[in-house]
Amino acid sequence: MGDRDDNVEFGWLAGRTAVVTGASSGIGRAIALELAAAGADVLIHARARGESAREVADRVRSMGRRSGVVLVDLADGDQYRELVDEAWDWSADVDIWVNNAGADVLTGPRADWSFERKLEYLWQVDVRATIGLSRLVGQRMRDRARSELARGLKDGPPGRYCLLNLGWDQAEQGMGGDSGEMFAAVKAAVMAFTKSLARSLAPHVRVNCLAPGWIRTAWGETASAYWQERARDECLLGRWGTPEDVARAARFLASSAADFVTGQVWHVNGGHRARGGEWATGPDGE
């Protein structure tokens, strides 16, 4: 794959179709490429970065998989409903749906927004869209599974239909400062919702949540020396995580190897080492 150094066992997801939101860069991009390398066709969603999204789709097609791009602003409730319709128009049977898209309020012009404005935007994208998409997608998957059972079909392995959401490992213990308060609130909501939706959709659809720790995405690459040291110090393995670390966990949870896993929050953080005092908040309480 070019930016991977391990060997994915081809066929883990052969014959599956996946949709990954927020897949033009970072963790979403890594997940899309990982699923494709394991055999899945992958539809790429992005908000506005069409060129980057098409580059990811081209990479997927270079592996012999089908791919496409849908540009939708998930902050708009009507548009996220359109995303579901477009996904099922692209493929009559979506097996894997990854709600990776999240609002970036740490870099770019949004970094200067007020706390209240950032929180509202995070709520729209990270919480409302994740819940709305999960309910719409989950219903379609459940209806398909029930139809297959009624007709006595054995279309693929048990548990083939799955939803994956993205949480945050520190939402459970909290992090001081404005960013910690915001992200803990919205990601804890996603994690709690995942557990409840798993109960609603069982036994037809598996629903799990990945809770990454310190992952070196765009923000991590430019973070100050304070955050660089903190990320390494709070990880038992002593390093930043990579988007590929999260993607490999996503591939497992999407596969038949995880057929008996649902309603779980999986931490992908290299083992979290809680610190007090100096790491209680960021610089100047941020």
> Using CB atoms within 10 A of its CB, is residue 118 exposed (0-12), middle (13-18) or buried (19+)?
buried
Residues in the chain: 286
pLDDT digits (tens, 9 = 90+) for 170-184: 898 888 899 889 999
In this predicted structure, what is the pLDDT of residue 276? 55
* d(C-alpha 67, C-alpha 35), whole Å: 12
Q: Are 48 and 101 in contact (CB under 8 A)?
A: no
* pLDDT for residue 4 is more than 60: no
Range of the domain at 229: 17-268
Task: Give the Å distances, CA to CA, from 225 to 29, 35, 111, 207, 221.
Answer: 26, 34, 19, 37, 11
* pLDDT for residue 195 is more than 90: yes
How many structural domains comprise the chain? 1
Residue 286: pLDDT band (50, 70, 90) is low
pLDDT digits (tens, 9 = 90+) for 115-167: 999 999 999 999 999 999 999 999 999 999 998 888 776 554 457 899 999 99
* d(C-alpha 94, C-alpha 32), whole Å: 14
In this predicted structure, what is the pLDDT of residue 224? 81
In this predicted structure, what is the pLDDT of residue 40? 97
> Picking from 59-68, 111-120, 215-224, which range would have the lowest pLDDT averaged per residue?
215-224
In this predicted structure, what is the pLDDT of residue 46? 96
**Averaged pLDDT, 26-48:** 97
In this predicted structure, what is the pLDDT of residue 68? 97
Tell whether 11 is covered by a domain.
no
Residue 2: pLDDT band (50, 70, 90) is very low
Element containing residue 211 per DSSP (H, E)? strand 206-212
Tell whether 109 is covered by a domain.
yes
In this predicted structure, what is the pLDDT of residue 150? 81
> Picking from 32-46, 64-78, 178-192, 225-239, which range would have the lowest pLDDT averaged per residue?
225-239
Instruction: HSE, CB side, 13 Å, CA atoms: give it for residue 233.
Output: 12
E-strand ranges in 123-262 read: 162-166, 206-212
* d(C-alpha 165, C-alpha 263), whole Å: 11
**Averaged pLDDT, 199-209:** 97
Which of the pair, 94 or 286, is modelled with greater confidence? 94
Residue type, 51: E
| DSSP symbol at 124 | I
* d(C-alpha 214, C-alpha 191), whole Å: 17
* d(C-alpha 166, C-alpha 266), whole Å: 10
Tell whether 7 is covered by a domain.
no
In this predicted structure, what is the pLDDT of residue 172? 87
Tell whether 169 is covered by a domain.
yes
Average pLDDT of the chain is 88
User: Looking at residue 196, which CATH number applies to its domain?
Assistant: 3.40.50.720
Tell whether 71 is covered by a domain.
yes
In this predicted structure, what is the pLDDT of residue 240? 82
* pLDDT for residue 6 is more than 50: no
* d(C-alpha 206, C-alpha 189), whole Å: 18
Omega prior to 203 cis, within 30 of 0: yes
Residue 281: pLDDT band (50, 70, 90) is low
Task: Give the Å distances, CA to CA, from 164 to 10, 187, 249.
Answer: 21, 13, 11
Tell whether 1 is covered by a domain.
no
Tell whether 98 is covered by a domain.
yes
Tell whether 10 is covered by a domain.
no
* pLDDT for residue 32 is more than 80: yes
